[in-house]
Amino acid sequence: AQSVTQLDSQVPVFEEAPVELRCNYSSSVSVYLFWYVQYPNQGLQLLLKYLSGSTLVKSINGFEAEFNKSQTSFHLRKPSVHISDTAEYFCAVTKKGYQKVTFGTGTKLQVIP
């Protein structure tokens, strides 16, 4: 079975500072990895995903994540956060070719003006 660990439940950071949200997964088979974002009172939406190929994946709004197979990690980073990045971020994993996704417990990013 696969699992996802997001150790940080809340991460406060000042505006324009860098941020890293940590995600570690466990699985005995090849996986797809995702980061979803949830803005207040909304559903989740996909931020970025790793399926294969380049281990560094990027979103359109400046986030990036790197797949590290040896460390079983998929940390999310942004070099300079904005107030509008305040949201909850979920890391998720699924086995290749499998539709069921396992979500982490989420990390609330609070950007402080």
Residue 43 binds other proteins, judged by CB under 8 A: yes
Closest CA to 111 of 76, 80, 77, 65: 80
Q: Which residues contact 27 (CB under 8 A, 6 or more apart)?
A: 2, 3, 72, 93, 95
CB of 8 to other proteins, least distance (A): 13
Kindly indicate which of the ranges 13-21, 45-53, 61-69, 70-78 contains the residues binding other proteins, using the contact rule CB under 8 A: 45-53
Q: Which of 88, 79, 83, 84 is nearest to 109 (CA)?
A: 88
From CA 56, how far away is CA 75, in angstroms rounded?
Answer: 10
Of the candidate residues 32, 64, 73, 86, the single one contacting other proteins (CB under 8 A):
32
- Residue pair 101/12 in contact (Cβ under 8 Å)? The answer is no
Q: Does 66 help bind other proteins (rule: CB under 8 A)?
A: no
> Which range, of 36-44, 55-63, 64-72, 76-84, touches other proteins by CB under 8 A?
36-44
Nearest approach, Cβ of residue 13 and other proteins (Å): 21
Task: Kindly tell me which of 47 and 81 has the beta carbon lying closer to other proteins.
Answer: 47
